[in-house]
Amino acid sequence: MKKTAIVTGGARGIGLGISLALAGGGYDIAAVGMRSEEQCAEAMEKIRSAGGKASTYHVCDISLAEERARLLDEVLSRHSSINLLVNNAGIAPPKRADILEAEAQSFEKVIKTNLEAPYFLTQAVAREMIRQKKENPESDACVIMIGSVSAVFASTNRGDYCISKAGLAMACKLFAVRLAEFGIPVYEVRPGIISTDMTSGVKEKYDRMIESGLLLQKRWGTPEDIGRAVAGLAKGFLSYSTGIAITLDGGMGVERL
């Protein structure tokens, strides 16, 4: 039976890279996003062509509880099971501001989307995965959080984003502990500097930093880099593990003199 993966933000940027890799590895994709179905038609065609022939697109604001509940019902009505949840969707701060000047409105929006939403979406999907496991102990189930090196690197002009990703790192550990008894592994994939539309506005800045030695591997990361890692985790390549973070940052985090 074909497996199904929910990928939030799955029709653009890193999420599209993940969706394409998973579709090529035997998954149908339930891609979730804020844009219209028409706006994502080209991306969805790529996903179906990659192997996810029965993939679907779902318009959903995951920051809203009622929207998350509707999403789960919608996915289950169009797919026979949920075998993988990839919490990828996230936003940058609406306004980058020094932490001495930052406003509560920005903080609340970032935390609600980047932390509260995946936390409670994971809760809801995990309950369904547990139900499926009880019906069929051999059914695949896995949860992957897409975090960021900002969980450990402090950026004082986007503290809300850093805190949201640090919280997501702990959410990975919490769900790994809670879901272990059901045989459901939970992982965090922690990207570094990835070339997407979200980072296009700071391209020149990071081009200079990369050239100056910020990274050991002197190139931007790509959505394909992240997609390969997620697909490998979903296939069980690291089956004797759970609750861990896989960092893909071109060597940025290596301490050196």
Closest among 46, 54, 48, 44 to 1, alpha carbons compared: 54
Give the model's confidence band at 128: pLDDT under 50 very low, under 70 low, under 90 confident, else very high.
very high
Share of the chain above pLDDT 70, in %: 100
The 10s digit of each residue's pLDDT in 237-251 is: 999 999 999 999 999
- Which three-class secondary structure string do you get for 131-182? HHHHHCCCCCCEEEEECCHHHCCCCCCCHHHHHHHHHHHHHHHHHHHHHHHH
Q: Largest Cα–Cα distance of the chain, in whole Å?
A: 55
* Domain boundaries defined on the chain: 3-248
Share of the chain above pLDDT 90, in %: 95
- With beta carbons less than 8 A apart as the criterion, state whether 184 and 142 touch: yes
Angle (CA) 144-74-82 rounded to 5° is 35
Q: Is the pLDDT of residue 1 over 80?
A: no
The mean pLDDT value for 162-166 works out to 98
Q: Is the pLDDT of residue 58 over 90?
A: yes
Q: Is the pLDDT of residue 55 over 90?
A: yes
Per-residue pLDDT at 45: 98
Per-residue pLDDT at 94: 87
Per-residue pLDDT at 2: 85
Average pLDDT, the chain: 96
The mean pLDDT value for 176-187 works out to 98
Per-residue pLDDT at 217: 97
The mean pLDDT value for 15-39 works out to 97
186-219 residues labelled b (16+ CB within 10 A) or e (exposed): bbbbbbbbbbbeebeeeeeebeeebeeebbeeee
Per-residue pLDDT at 95: 85
Give the separation between CA 63 and CA 112, rounded to whole angstroms. Answer: 6
The 10s digit of each residue's pLDDT in 186-221 is: 999 999 999 998 888 889 999 999 999 999 999 999
pTM score of the predicted model = 0.96
The 10s digit of each residue's pLDDT in 65-80 is: 999 999 999 999 999 8
Architecture label for domain 3-248: 3-Layer(aba) Sandwich (3.40)
Backbone angles phi, psi at 38, to 5 degrees: -65, -40
- With beta carbons less than 8 A apart as the criterion, state whether 223 and 17 touch: yes
Per-residue pLDDT at 255: 93
Give the model's confidence band at 257: pLDDT under 50 very low, under 70 low, under 90 confident, else very high.
confident
Q: Which residues pair with 194 in a beta bridge?
A: 221
